[in-house]
Structure 1
Amino acid sequence: MHFNVIKLLFCGTTPLRNSQVLQVTRKDTSVVYKPNFRISCRLQYISKHSDNMVRLWCFLLASLSAVSAQFVPPYTEECRTGMYPPKGPTSKGAVTWYTIDLDLPPSERWKQIITDKKAELATMIQAIRDLANAFVPSGKLIDLVDKDLPFIVSTLPYPFNEEIKGIAAVSGVPLGEVVLFNIFYEVFTVCTSLVAEDSNGNLIHGRNLDFGLFMGWDIKNRSWLITEKLKPLVVSVDFQRGNKTVFKSTNFAGYVGMLTGMKPNAFTLTMNERFSLDGGYIGIVEWILGKRDGMWMSFLTRSVLENATSYEEAKVRLAQTKLLAPAYFILGGNQTGQGCVITRSRVLSLDVWEIDLKQGRWYVLETNYDHWDDPLFLDDRRTPAMKCMNQTMQSNISRKTVYDVLSTKPVLNKLTTYTTLMEVSIGKLESYIRDCPNPCMPW
């Protein structure tokens, strides 16, 4: 019988001799967490996974201080079929469309969206405040955010800095908290993305956007607090210049970067987080301290969507631009064979994994682990997703069947906020708010 064991000795402000031990064991397919804790002081581990993965998950488990110990079964199921058009308990409806006029001054571009979503944005920001105050009950953490984070805005590239200022002005949310809201997506996005080529050479791009990992577990409703607060903020946006579409995106109101987007008839693009010790936290700290030679991940994706004119140009920019955080860029084009996963460190491209029909690879699929490594056993969305893609077969691939794949647990999970389907050749981007009825994996 095989066990993976991770031990964290933690003490808060007490000496280690008074420390407690958290042990995470894997026996067959069951996982048990015990007990709750706050601050990790020292780390020991026994695992077959890389140091980086173990350290990452130890950090993430440390964020579970507000979550009761619980048994986490492997909530998987047979590949779903007939889920499209979206209906039933897993769909909460289509995402509302807005238009943003890029000819307007940046501070005015988001005015209509923020006016419509003002109450929802305030509710979400309050949930973040409550989480912060749970860790630092004095309220000093939020005071620090309100006092010190606004200075970052002036260091951000134009037009993003002015757009953030405009969002704060319209929403009434303190500028520092709007900055924090935007920073979150550099380090907390856990997703599934794929690009597939059908038998006629058309490219289909699909993604589940999973967000809110370990950010407040609601025991009663079995859901993530921040994930649920984000769902009402999801919007689809047609970015126009001169009354003509430049690109389309599905986004969160109040967030100026891009995680999911399409340049009609040219390319589609999604971004997934890549876990690494040299991760987004380090890049953000370096930026605050004055080292600003890297680009914010979501600002790069927006810049590429707005300015790149072809799949090849987008691929070069995504592969070569220095970043604040490591990432996976999943890119689809408008010609046969144009689909790839770009695996990025903060400094360079580590790999470009492309569709290759000669090798029988008619799709590429990425979650949050390097495709040449096994995913962590606690978070294997890749295996069921690939199983369903292979079962579907290239001859049957379409937006409908991709939606089926993305609706299969645990690809669909408690973190999933929305599903997007894109077909570049017809300029189609459609997004749907999701829900994962119990039983369902937390991630």
Structure 2
Amino acid sequence: MMRAVVLLLLGLVASCRAEFAPPTVNISLDEDPELRWAPLLKVFDVEYLKKAAAEVIDTTVPKWVHQLGKPIVMVLEKYMPQPYAGEIRGLASYLGGDLADVVILNFAYEISAVKVKSSYACVPRFCTSIVAQDKNGHVYHGRNLDYPHPVLRNLTVNVVFHKNGKTLEEAEDFQDAVMRLSKIPIITGVYYIVGGVKAGEGAVITRDRTGPADIWPLDTLYGGWYRVETNFDHWLPPPARDHRREAANKALNATGQDHINLDTLYEASTD
């Protein structure tokens, strides 16, 4: 099964190999859903955002589906739960665009997933995520963003959520975070790749909407010093034309636990 990939770094801030750091925006969950994402406009040009949205839709959604689906999307939008509906309406307002297009944009990943299930001849690359531990117990956590949309390269952003005037942190420790991420109901299947600050604190959580399908932790005592997650359940073989898992495993095994660090992790995730 194909799911979205979400990488979470809990309590550990690591430098990344880049020429510049992405901008940071503070999002208050106390704000009205239609207003809370306004800070994005301070760091991104509206015209560029509109261009990015149009490119993703044009390369993901067949034109005939796009046109025929708009009336249906507008009907479905009325049944979307809060706060999602309000946030989508707000983003559409900021972009000055079509509300239906913003709704469709939120389903772009699911549409591409349907394509994968129906035809393995056109497998999207999307993301590869890795959590690994070196011999000294340091946990490294990385992900590449290999979406087939070059326009997205300049749209990476750090988001800091606030509630009641404080950063939004509820988990007491790594294990508590894993349990919360595993059990809280969500609207679609996803892979959470989670890294902590202590030895052994790394896991891939494969989620269904109502709970965990699988929790795959680091297991260094038995050779499991790293975990690689692409867009397919790790216990199943990937599609024949998707070699990302194989390439990452090969690179990490060649590097070895003795030599894993930020630089070698970067090389492994970009091979």
Where on the TM-score scale, by shorter chain, does this alignment land: which range?
Answer: 0.7 to 0.9
Mark the CA change 1:192 to 1:160 in structure 2 (over 3 Å): closer, same or farther.
same
1:198 counterpart residue number:
134
* TM score, norm. by length of structure 2: 0.75
| SS of the residue 1:237 aligns to | strand
- For 1:119, the equivalent position in structure 2 comes to 47
Name whichever structure is richer in helix by fraction: 2
Residues 135 and 100 (structure 1), Cα distance of their counterparts in 2 relative to 1, 3 Å cut? closer
Which letter maps to 1:113? L
- How far off its partner does 1:195 sit? 0.9
Would the aligned equivalents of 2:73 and 2:103 in 1 still touch at CA under 8 Å? Answer: yes
Which amino acid counterpart does residue 166 of structure 1 have in structure 2? G
Compute the displacement of 1:354 (Å).
1.3
Query: 2:224 — aligned with what?
Result: 361
Q: Residues 175-324 of structure 1 correspond to what in structure 2 (within 5 A)?
A: 175-188=99-112, 190-212=126-148, 227-241=149-163, 244-246=166-168, 307-321=170-184, 324=187
Q: Which residue of 1 aligns with 2:236?
A: 373
Q: Which has the larger radius of gyration?
A: 1
In structure 2, what residue type is equivalent to 1:240? H
Give the match's secondary structure for 1:315: helix
Give the unaligned 5+ runs of structure 2.
Answer: 3-15, 114-125
Q: What percent identity do the matched residue pairs reach?
A: 34
Letter in 1 for 2:161: F
Compared with structure 1, are the counterparts of its residues 176 and 309 closer, same or farther at alpha carbon in structure 2 (3 Å cutoff)?
A: farther
For 2:107, what is the secondary structure of its paired residue? helix
Q: Distance in 2 between matches of 1:133 and 1:361?
A: 39
Structure 1 residue aligned with 2:203: 340
Question: How much has 1:179 moved relative to structure 2?
Answer: 1.0
Corresponding residue number in structure 1 for 2:67: 142
* Cα drift, residue 387 of structure 1: 1.8
- Classify the secondary structure of the residue corresponding to 1:165: helix
Report the structure, 1 or 2, having the larger strand content: 1
| Residue deviations 1:198-241 (CA, integer Å, cap 9, x gap) | 233232211112324xxxxxxxxxxxxxx023223332222234
For 1:433, the equivalent position in structure 2 comes to none
Distance 1:157 1:211 in 2: 28
Query: Paired residue for 2:94?
Result: 170
Structure with more relative contact order (C-alpha pairs < 8 Å, separation 6 or more): 2
SS state at 2:157 partner = strand
Corresponding residue pairs, total:
245
C-alpha separation between the residues in 2 aligned to 1:404 and 1:230? Answer: 21
Per-residue CA deviation, residues 32-72 of structure 1 (Å, 9 max, x unaligned), is: xxxxxxxxxxxxxxxxxxxx89xxxxxxxxxxxxxxxxxxx
Task: Give the drift of 1:352.
Answer: 1.9
Structure 1 residues 388 and 335: CA distance shift in structure 2, 3 A:
same
Does structure 1 residue 350 correspond to structure 2 residue 213?
yes
